[in-house]
């Protein structure tokens, strides 16, 4: 484990119920991050998606991958301080080639594997994949930008 949820909250502005990364397990600055989220039946989203047949929404998987990518972007910045991070946020610019390959249900552990395709200044293009039990469940190309709050 590189970062637990408390340390992740020092990097990302997201909070319950919208912080969708529980741990960072691997990080190579400017290149790659691996993180996970434990999906629990106690997630508020399962109240309505779907009663009696809980399926974790694909958009939440995409958001979780984006949050992991945000940690990668922040931790890849040279000389960044905690104050710098607190004054910045990562915004989506685009989501391309999104595919959902299998449903995610309570009890699953979503593993996010994010590779940098390209980085130019504050703009990051990422190849994002989500796995459950080493089986790909979702993927997308994400583009995001780090901006001042």
Catalytic, 49? Answer: yes
Dihedral pair phi/psi, residue 48, rounded to 5°: -125, 0
The H-assigned helical ranges of the chain are 5-9, 58-76, 82-86
Q: Are 11 and 38 in contact (CB under 8 A)?
A: no
The distance of Cα 70 from the centroid of its chain, to the nearest Å, equals 7
The answer to whether 138 and 52 have CB atoms below 8 angstroms apart is no
**Cis before 17? omega within 30:** yes
Residue 112, number of CB atoms within 10 A of its CB:
27
Selecting among 19, 49, 92, 98, the annotated active-site residue is 49
Copy the structure tokens of residue 120. Answer: 């130019």
How many C-beta atoms surround the C-beta of residue 103 within 10 A?
Answer: 13
State the catalytic residues. Answer: 49
């Amino acid at each position: 484990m590189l970062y637990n949820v408390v340390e992740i909250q020092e990097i990302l502005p997201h909070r319950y119920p919208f912080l969708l990364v529980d741990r960072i397990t691997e990080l190579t600055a400017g290149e790659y991050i691996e993180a996970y989220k434990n999906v629990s039946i106690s997630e508020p989203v399962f109240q309505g998606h779907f009663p009696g047949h809980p399926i974790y929404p694909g958009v939440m998987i995409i958001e979780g991958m984006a949050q992991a990518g945000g940690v990668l972007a922040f931790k890849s910045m040279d000389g960044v301080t905690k104050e710098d991070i607190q004054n910045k946020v990562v915004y989506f610019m685009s989501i391309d080639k999104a595919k959902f390959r299998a449903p995610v249900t309570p009890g699953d552990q979503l593993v996010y594997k994010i590779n940098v395709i390209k980085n130019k200044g504050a703009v990051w293009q990422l190849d994002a994949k989500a796995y459950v039990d080493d089986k790909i469940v979702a993927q997308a190309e994400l583009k995001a930008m780090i901006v001042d709050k």
